[in-house]
Amino acid sequence: MNPIFILLTVVAYFAAMFGISWITGRKADNQSFFVGNRKSPWYVVAFAMIGAAISGVTFVSVPGMVAGNSFAYLQMAIGFVAGQFIIAFILIPLFYKMNLTSIYEYLSNRFGIASYKTGAWFFFISKMLGAAVRLYLVCAVLQLLVFEPYHLPFLLNVAVSMALVWLYTYRGGVKTLIWTDSFKTLCLIVSVVMSIYYIASGLGFSFGEMWTAINTHDYSQVFFFDDINDKRYFLKQFLAGMFTVIAMTGLDQDFMQKILSCKNPKDSQKNIITSGLLQFGVIYLFLLLGVLLYIYTSGAGVAIPEKSDDLFPLLATGGYFPIAVGILFIIGLIAAAYSAAGSALTSLTTSFTVDILQSADRKGSEAQIASRRKKVHIGMAVLMGIVIVIINLLNNTSVINAVYVLASYTYGPILGMFAFGIFTKWAVKDQYLPIVAILSPLLCLLLDLHSEAWLNGYKFSYELLIMNAAFTFIGLLCLIKTKN
């Protein structure tokens, strides 16, 4: 595709985003930025949550990963749905009852200030790394398609991307994000559905022929029950999916900031369950698209890229399909990646302002809090840009794999702390909790490196998150306060 054409597509998308931001950001105050004034319609939030959960990583990595994992990712998606029910009926009522701006305030009430700070910092590290990995993907694609043809450096690419994300989120915060994520979800679903349609048409398939070709393909296997050492083993994938969504949605300020913007707990519960079921359907569409792409490469004799993440970008923009597929790919990619970055930027600003700087409503005037929030927002954008540049220098793995590996190590202590707080009544020696939270990921890393030798060939997958949380839970048991 012509770089100018791609650039015009990006500009048109952001023009729409800035229009939404301007409309929703009018008369926005700190409560609008942090929790959307708790007036968001649940069905709008549910639709927005689909796009929030489907990042640029999903858009590019999931179609490419079917060659190595078939449809095993659906096992994890089933776990996602189970996790959404746990969030709906355990976490949401608790957070509404406590009227939290940041969900990590729960840890302060339950354990103490050291636990509160630990949870906030682990979220900060988790979200910063995860968001940077996701935005890195779209920057890498834009570098290949737009910046390199004009000999422009990757650093400029990142600077422009972060400036655009900062611009459309700096006023309205979560109130704006709910509507921009809804627009993103629409773009995303239209992009993947129309891409499937055009590619199937290019292969000469009717709907029935397409369905038969996909379901009889070697890559269409969903369930894996045979080998417990296989990373695709059902129980590993299901449990990893369930606990991942609890940690990365239910215990993540980014997602809960939107969910808690609904009017009441019942609306939030309807939102999370509806969005979870719809998200499963969207993931399935991406897997269908992946099989079609591999069917095409096999029939057309196209060399498969060394990195599976490059498959969809190569075919969509390389002139193999009608130009409409390339346009849809660009729209879907930027819709997924930039909105995810904007969402992360807002939640990082909220958590750093409220949790780490402790700028709650009662500490300072509205103007003082707003001023501090805006400075933090700029700082978060700059820091995310720096992390993206570093990732570009270090990247050597599939991006979707990198996201979940990072989550296993950084969200584990948060999951363990919340589980201990919710399911036990014991008080702990709060000052020692940061040590437990640091040691748990280190123990997981040691176990992962030596699992094949120590556990008779067993290989850990994303279930490392569960082990990490378990180590944290056990560590907290060792810190229980004894009564005099």
- What pLDDT is attached to residue 74? 93
Whether residue 338 is contained in a domain is answered as yes
Asked whether 472 and 437 are in contact (CB, 8 A), the reply is yes
Whether residue 185 is contained in a domain is answered as yes
Q: Work out how many domains the chain is built from and give that number.
A: 1
Whether residue 394 is contained in a domain is answered as yes
Whether residue 301 is contained in a domain is answered as yes
Whether residue 297 is contained in a domain is answered as yes
CA angle 303, 306, 312 (to 5 degrees): 70
Separation CA 148–CA 146 (nearest Å): 6
Asked whether 308 and 64 are in contact (CB, 8 A), the reply is yes
Print the domain residue range for 345: 3-399
pLDDT tens, per residue, the chain with 484 residues = 677 777 787 788 778 877 877 776 655 554 544 444 456 778 888 887 776 666 666 777 788 888 888 899 999 999 999 999 999 999 999 888 888 777 888 998 899 999 999 988 888 888 888 788 778 877 887 887 788 888 889 999 999 888 888 877 766 556 677 777 787 788 778 888 888 888 888 888 998 999 999 989 989 899 999 888 888 889 989 998 899 889 888 888 777 877 877 888 898 899 889 988 988 998 999 899 999 989 988 888 888 887 777 788 888 887 787 888 888 788 877 777 676 677 778 778 877 887 777 644 445 566 777 778 788 889 999 999 998 888 888 765 455 566 667 777 888 899 999 999 999 999 999 999 999 999 999 999 898 888 888 888 787 777 788 899 999 999 999 999 876 4
Residue 224 region by backbone torsions, left for phi larger than 0, else alpha for psi between -120 and 50, else beta: beta
Whether residue 409 is contained in a domain is answered as no
Whether residue 429 is contained in a domain is answered as no
Residue 183's nearest CA partner among 34, 23, 63 is 23
- What pLDDT is attached to residue 483? 64
Note the pTM of the prediction, 2 decimals.
0.75
Residue 16's nearest CA partner among 195, 176, 192 is 176
Collapsed DSSP state (helix, strand, coil) of residue 35: helix
Residue 281's nearest CA partner among 87, 85, 88, 74 is 74
Whether residue 340 is contained in a domain is answered as yes
For residue 81, the domain's CATH number is 1.20.1730.10
